[in-house]
Amino acid sequence: MLELKNRSCFVLSKGTPPMNNQQIVEFKSMLTSEWNIQENQKLKKEFQFENFKRAIAFVQEIALIAEKEQHHPDICIQYTTVEIELSTHDIGGLSENDFIMAAKIESL
């Protein structure tokens, strides 16, 4: 099985349900750092940087990946802190795509 960071996001079929608890636990275990699960609907993590310039560079790298994968996280920048929130809005919860993006972000 390919590591999550080596997979590509894919278009979900109409009516695809969000992941259940068991799937969320399974996919979260494939990530290399600690991400928080919120209400089984969002995957969230804060990243700390030495300065604002590095935080912005990190966000720019994420933007390039998000465009390529066509799966876009919510991003909040607070000086040296970057908060990433992933969710698949079309299905109202988490999908494999969120974990793929999380893994790609971790690898930056």
In order of 26, 52, 76, 101, the CA distances from 9 in angstroms are 18, 29, 22, 8
Rounded to whole angstroms, the Cα distance separating 28 from 35 reads 8
pTM: predicted TM-score of the whole model, two decimal places: 0.95
Q: How many CB atoms lie within 10 A of CB 59?
A: 17
Please list the pLDDT of the chain residue by residue as tens digits (108 residues). Answer: 579 999 999 999 989 999 999 999 999 999 999 999 999 999 999 999 999 999 999 999 999 999 999 999 999 999 999 999 999 999 999 999 999 999 999 999
Sorted by where each begins, the domain ranges of the chain are 38-108
**Fold of domain 38-108:** Gyrase A; domain 2 (3.30.1360)
Which run of H or of E encompasses 43? strand 42-48
**Cβ contacts of 37 within 8 Å, gap of 6 or more:** 24, 28, 43, 44, 94
